[in-house]
Amino acid sequence: MRFQMTTVAIALCLCVAANAQAPNAGAPAAPGAAGPAPTTFVVRFKIKPGKNAEFEKVMATLQSALPKSEPGNVYYDLYLPSADSQTYVLIEHYRNADAVTAHGKDPNTQQMASAIKDLLDGPPSADRLILVSSKP
């Protein structure tokens, strides 16, 4: 059990650390953006049965702290694909690479990772998307 909890905590930290790296220098910046292109993450969390309400509460606490602690975070939205799903999808968007780095270092993010480790049914997965173009 201790090994499993340690594995989940390490996976969360690695996910945040790997995803906090700056986009490649060739990535285009969005019009008016400072620094490298905005970045979005799609993160999937599989939650143990019966732990949905607790997970949602932890995530809502983090979301309420973001406007003040992370001004470079544009949105941090949690989705549930269906009412009976145990897999949540988090879509988070950052203005630039500095905002992504700030998210990885934010104590609120670290508290969230610690608070959900016993709620997860396996490590989260994350896809990083770097903005190529958007509507004007």
Protein fold of 2-22+35-130:
Alpha-Beta Plaits (3.30.70)
pLDDT digits (tens, 9 = 90+) for 64-112: 999 999 999 999 999 999 988 999 999 999 999 899 999 999 999 999 9
| Tokens coding 99 | 């905002």
Give me the torsion for CA of 8, 14, 19, 21, rounded to 10°. 170
Domain ranges of the chain: 2-22+35-130
Rounded to whole angstroms, the Cα distance separating 73 from 32 reads: 16
pTM reported for the whole predicted model: 0.73
